[in-house]
Amino acid sequence: MSRGVLFVHNNFPAQFRGLAEALLARGVPCAAIGSATAPGIEGMALGRYATRRGTTQGIFPFAVRAEADLIRGADALRVGHSLKDAGFQPQVIVGHPGWGETVFLDELWPDAKRVMFSEFFYKGRGLDIDFDEEFFQTTEQAVLAGKAKNAVMSLALAEADVIVAPTEFQASVLPPVFQPRVRVIHEGVDTEAIRPGPAEPFALADGRVIAPGARVITYANNHMEPLRGLHIFARALPRLMAEVPDAEVLVFGADAPRPYGGSPADGRPWREVIFEGLEVDAQRLHFMGKAPHTQLLAAMRLSTAHVYYTYPFVLSWSLVEAMASGCYVVASDTAPLHDAIEDGVNGRLLPFFDVDALAQALIEACRKPSASAPLRAAARETAVARFSRADGLAAWLSLLRELGVDIPDAPPETPFGT
């Protein structure tokens, strides 16, 4: 008899953590498939696959991603056999199809409903690939390679019973043939835990402390790359620092070996390439690296303005967390932001490439910090209304119940004293 849910994600639990933990707490049978480095969740069986070989020599360039995805799909199938042999028979498979692991699992569980999480459907033109030609030319090769990323993912989406996208923008980039099966469900952030609060002294690695009330600009870029506007942000800093001599800048994120948007041609980290030659005060520019999440949230509570720029791509959790924290968000006027920010209402939307506009907005924020109070309050309200983890969980549970999963209304009560 089929019962419960199988999760499939390269880096499980990732976006599925809240849902997986809620199902476990309610006694719903669950298991997962992930890569060898997937963190997993305590108390849930996790089948880890390990891909045994790299790219085939001499393969057609546009097929490199498809081959890698199919290899991962075959490896995930082998792991699935182990779960099935142990007696696991899911009613629903919830998977991220972006790396290929879901594509063959219907051979094991043909009767299971399939819910595919569509984080991003690539296009050669009109989204991230041809948005900014400063670092990468939009050649025919780049366009075709971008479209080819969808090959195996398209097969998984074509066979899905339901496709879940986190935002309206991310849903909109899916081809029309998939649209009738799309549900928009953002996994959300914990807006009860992440909320405005009094700023506290912020300790820096060199022993200095930024006091509450200081002029502080915050910026988070997980992979430190142009796709999240690092170059635009960096170029706004010389004017900001010159005109606001007490402004402190906190930059969160680590140099990544494989950024989403590709690596520099010379192999150096993007941070080194972008900040080279810029006249910035190194004593007031603080690279925090991959800091603990609590430190990022503490910086947001201290923030005078939080900068979030992005190409037309996936909307970051950090933006939602900044809004939930009551930050004054200065963002790029690009499509993903239209699901979160209304210019002049709950933040600012500025032309992506206009460095002077960003510098001016940050200078004004530092000179008149109280002026942003209504926008901060509205940002918090938007985060609670659109990006609450509780609402996202309720929508996911409702969907799984529609698909036949027996889910109790609430977790069983824990006996007193245990």
Give the pLDDT confidence score for residue 172 in this predicted structure: 98
Q: What is the predicted pLDDT for the residue at 262?
A: 84
* CA–CA dist 7, 163 (Å, integer): 14
The pTM assigned to this predicted structure is 0.93
Residue 416: per-residue pLDDT: 36
Task: Give the per-residue pLDDT at 53.
Answer: 65
Long-range CB pairs of 158-161 (<8 Å, 24+ gap) are 159/106, 159/114, 160/97, 160/114, 160/115, 160/116, 161/113, 161/114, 161/115, 161/403
pLDDT of 135: 92
Instruction: Identify the DSSP state of 414.
Output: P
Q: What CA dihedral angle connects 302, 373, 348 and 287, to 10 degrees? A: -10
Question: In Å, how far from its chain's centre is CA 315?
Answer: 6
Residues 6+ apart with CB under 8 A from 35: 10, 11, 48, 49, 50, 51
Which residues are registered as beta bridge partners of 49? 35
> From first to last of its 418 residues, what are the pLDDT tens digits of the chain?
578 999 999 999 999 999 999 999 999 999 999 999 999 999 999 999 987 666 688 899 999 999 999 999 999 999 999 999 999 999 999 999 999 999 999 999 999 999 999 999 999 999 999 999 999 889 999 999 999 999 999 999 999 999 999 999 999 999 999 999 999 999 999 999 999 999 999 999 999 999 999 999 999 999 999 999 999 999 999 999 999 999 999 999 999 877 888 888 888 999 999 999 999 999 999 999 999 999 999 999 999 999 999 999 999 999 999 999 999 999 999 999 999 999 999 999 999 999 999 999 999 999 999 999 999 999 999 999 999 999 999 999 999 999 999 999 876 554 433 3
Q: How high is the pLDDT of residue 210?
A: 98
Q: Measured between alpha carbons, how far is 1 from 404 in angstroms, rounded to an integer?
A: 12
Exposed / middle / buried, residue 246 (Cβ in 10 Å: 0-12, 13-18, 19+): exposed
H/E run at residue 350: strand 348-350
Report the alpha-carbon distance of residue 231 to residue 271 in Å, rounded. Answer: 9
Choose among 14, 7, 60, 67: nearest CA to 37: 14
For residues 84 and 109, the answer to whether their CB atoms sit within 8 Å is yes
Cα separation, 45 vs 56, whole angstroms: 32
- Domains of the chain are 5-188+388-402 (3.40.50.2000), 202-386 (3.40.50.2000)
Quick one: CA torsion of 127, 128, 130, 131, rounded to 10 degrees?
90
Task: Name every residue whose Cβ is closer than 8 Å to that of residue 221 and which is 6 or more positions away in sequence.
Answer: 228, 229, 230, 233, 251, 252, 253
Q: What is the pLDDT of residue 254?
A: 93
CB atoms closer than 10 angstroms to residue 41: 18
